[in-house]
């Protein structure tokens, strides 16, 4: 083999409500990638335990992310949609990666530092090992391309470090199996079993910020529901939230440079541009010089137009949990077959007797 087969993989945690930022930043990209790639989209329920061990409605959370994938236009027949816990090979490979990754690497993860806060002694071992499970999610399929938000870039670098160390440490064992691929990393030739994953971060996806504070990311964990547009919000709620969004007193500028130092204006223009599939410059060419009293109603109409069909479809799907579960079971079965193939090879490379 001279190259890894291209495969797109991404995951979304079933914690809290999906919002506009998740849709524009991730799910819409997942949808677009389907045209030219083999894709796997995973509801990472094992990861959700690192945020909170006991959930009030774990099944509902898993189904609602799945419903959002389907409602947004991901095709579970051409591609694979599944939840992580149905494929135990993720956890098995994560254990092996726990033995590959170094404490020092993990300790440098900024997401761990943020989430663990001051009292690290009280953070779970799962939270610390989170990126190792994420690497396993991707590499158990030897996936090559991972669409994520830029906050996940560091985790993907770690995924590459883990893959590289595995490839080098087991190099002599990989070669005789004939399972490896000759790649170059930097200028070094490497006989690799695991690919060096590429993040797919750029593209039209904006960083969608809080509607109440243009310097903070729109987040499911923000205590103020007014800070975000949820994918399940009805049109009246979307309208109310956008009308109440924080702004400044000035009119919109006619050029993008005029948005600097105006984070709230920048955010709303960015959201409009993303929803309309235009650039911020296009939007300002249209609305430059106008007050927010004109721009906000236009943004409400656009947001409702784009989101209402998705929201309606999500509600329809959520009314039939049996159908969603069947989609996940089918995806899980197909994912398991692929993951087990890798794990058979990994067990052989390591030398486990079977
Ligand atoms: N850590 C990712 C996030 O919080 C979710 C995730 C888990 C993921 N496993 C993954 C993303 C594998 C991409 C690939 O957004």
Q: Is 44 in the pocket of ligand 1 (CB under 6 A)?
A: yes
Q: Is 84 in the pocket of ligand 1 (CB under 6 A)?
A: no
Q: Is 43 in the pocket of ligand 1 (CB under 6 A)?
A: no
Q: What pLDDT does residue 3 have?
A: 85
In this structure, the residue with its CA closest to atom 13 of ligand 1 is 10
pLDDT in tens, the chain (354 residues): 568 999 999 999 998 789 999 999 899 999 999 999 999 999 999 999 999 999 999 999 999 999 999 999 999 999 999 999 999 999 999 999 999 999 999 999 999 999 999 999 999 999 999 999 999 999 999 999 999 988 899 999 999 999 999 999 999 999 998 899 999 988 889 999 999 999 998 655 568 999 999 999 998 888 999 999 999 899 999 999 999 999 999 999 999 999 999 999 999 999 999 999 999 999 999 999 999 999 999 999 999 999 999 999 999 999 999 999 999 999 999 999 999 999 999 999 999 998
Q: What pLDDT does residue 185 have?
A: 87
Could you tell me the distance, in angstroms and rounded to a whole number, from the CA of residue 239 to the centre of ligand 1?
31
Those residues whose C-beta lies under 8 Å from the C-beta of residue 48, and which sit 6 or more positions away, are: 13, 14, 15, 55, 58, 61
In this structure, the residue with its CA closest to atom 14 of ligand 1 is 10
CATH architecture of 8-204+320-350: 3-Layer(aba) Sandwich (3.40)
Could you tell me the distance, in angstroms and rounded to a whole number, from the CA of residue 276 to the centre of ligand 1?
27
For the chain, give the number of residues. 354
Q: What pLDDT does residue 19 have?
A: 93
Could you tell me the distance, in angstroms and rounded to a whole number, from the CA of residue 299 to the centre of ligand 1?
30
CATH topology of domain 225-317: Tyrosyl-Transfer RNA Synthetase (1.10.240)
Report the residue among 8, 42, 112, 195 best suited for mutation to probe ligand 1: largest number of ligand atoms under 8 A from its CB: 42
Residue extent(s) of CATH 1.10.240.10 domains in the chain: 225-317
Q: What pLDDT does residue 180 have?
A: 92
Q: Is 26 in the pocket of ligand 1 (CB under 6 A)?
A: no
Kindly report the average pLDDT of the chain as a whole number. 95
Could you tell me the distance, in angstroms and rounded to a whole number, from the CA of residue 277 to the centre of ligand 1?
25
Cβ(31)–Cβ(75) below 8 Å:
no
Q: What is the pLDDT of residues 205-214, one digit of tens each?
A: 568 999 999 9
* Ligand 1 atom nearest residue 137's Cα: 12
Report the residue among 7, 9, 10 best suited for mutation to probe ligand 1: largest number of ligand atoms under 8 A from its CB: 10
Could you tell me the distance, in angstroms and rounded to a whole number, from the CA of residue 10 to the centre of ligand 1?
6
Q: Could you give the residue numbers annotated as active site?
A: 115, 217, 220
Q: What pLDDT does residue 205 have?
A: 58
Q: Is 134 in the pocket of ligand 1 (CB under 6 A)?
A: yes
- Three state DSSP letters for the chain: CCCCCCCEEEEECCCCCCEHHHHHHHHHHHHHHCCCCCEEEEECHHHHHHHCCCCCCHHHHHHHHHHHHHHHCCCCCCCEEEEHHHCCHHHHHHHHHHHHCCHHHHHCCHHHHHHHCCCHHHCCHHHHHHHHHHHHHHHCCCCCEEECCHHHHHHHHHHHHHHHHHHHHCHHHHHHHCCCEEEEECCEEEEECCCCCEEECCCCCCCCECCCCCCCECCCCCCCHHHCCECCCCHHHHHHHHHCCCCCCCCCCCCHHHHCCCHHHHHHHHHHHHHHCCCHHHHHHHHCCCCHHHHHHHHHHHHHHHHHHHHHHHHHHHCCHHHHHHHHHHHHHHHHHHHHHHHHHHHHHHCCCC
Q: What pLDDT does residue 203 have?
A: 59
In this structure, the residue with its CA closest to atom 11 of ligand 1 is 11
* Ligand 1 atom nearest residue 151's Cα: 15
- How wide is the angle at C-alpha 339 spanned by C-alphas 198 and 14, nearest 5°? 70
Report the residue among 8, 16, 130, 137 best suited for mutation to probe ligand 1: largest number of ligand atoms under 8 A from its CB: 137
Q: What pLDDT does residue 65 have?
A: 96
In this structure, the residue with its CA closest to atom 15 of ligand 1 is 12
Q: Is 343 in the pocket of ligand 1 (CB under 6 A)?
A: no
- pTM assigned to the model: 0.94
Q: Is 112 in the pocket of ligand 1 (CB under 6 A)?
A: no
Residue extent(s) of CATH 3.40.50.620 domains in the chain: 8-204+320-350
Q: From the centroid of its chain, how far is CA 346?
A: 26
In this structure, the residue with its CA closest to atom 3 of ligand 1 is 12
In this structure, the residue with its CA closest to atom 8 of ligand 1 is 11
């Amino acid at each position: 083999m001279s190259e890894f087969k291209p495969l797109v993989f991404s995951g979304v945690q079933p914690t809290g409500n999906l919002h506009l930022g998740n849709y524009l930043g991730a799910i819409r990209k997942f949808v677009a990638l389907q045209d030219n790639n083999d894709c796997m989209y995973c509801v990472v329920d094992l990861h959700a335990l690192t945020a909170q061990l006991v959930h009030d409605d774990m099944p509902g959370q898993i189904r609602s992310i799945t419903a959002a994938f389907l409602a947004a236009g991901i095709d579970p027949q051409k591609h694979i949609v599944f939840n992580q816990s149905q494929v135990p090979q993720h956890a098995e490979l994560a254990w092996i990666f726990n033995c590959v990754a170094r404490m020092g690497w993990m300790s440098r993860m900024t997401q761990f530092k943020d989430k663990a806060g001051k009292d690290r002694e009280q953070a779970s071992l799962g939270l610390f090992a989170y990126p190792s499970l994420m690497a396993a999610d991707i590499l158990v399929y030897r996936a090559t391309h991972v669409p994520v938000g830029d906050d996940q870039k560091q985790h993907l670098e770690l995924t590459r470090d883990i893959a590289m160390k595995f490839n080098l440490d087991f190099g002599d064992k990989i070669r005789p199996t004939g399972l490896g691929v000759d790649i170059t990393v930097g200028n070094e030739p490497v006989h690799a079993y695991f690919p060096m994953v590429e993040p797919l971060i750029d593209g039209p996806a904006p960083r969608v910020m809080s509607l109440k504070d243009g310097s903070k990311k729109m987040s499911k964990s923000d205590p103020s529901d007014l800070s975000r547009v949820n994918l399940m919000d009805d049109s009246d709620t979307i309208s109310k939230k956008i009308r109440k969004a924080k702004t400044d007193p000035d009119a919109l500028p006619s050029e993008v440079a005029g948005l600097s130092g105006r984070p709230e204006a920048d955010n709303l223009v960015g959201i409009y541009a993303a929803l309309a599939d235009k650039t911020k410059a296009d939007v300002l060419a249209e609305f430059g010089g106008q007050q927010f009293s004109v721009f906000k109603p236009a943004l409400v109409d656009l947001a409702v137009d784009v989101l209402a069909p998705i929201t309606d479809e999500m509600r329809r799907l959520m009314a039939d949990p049996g159908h969603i579960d069947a989609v996940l079971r089918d995806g899980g079965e197909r994912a398991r077959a692929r993951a087990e193939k890798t794990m058979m090879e990994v067990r052989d490379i390591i030398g486990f007797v079977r």
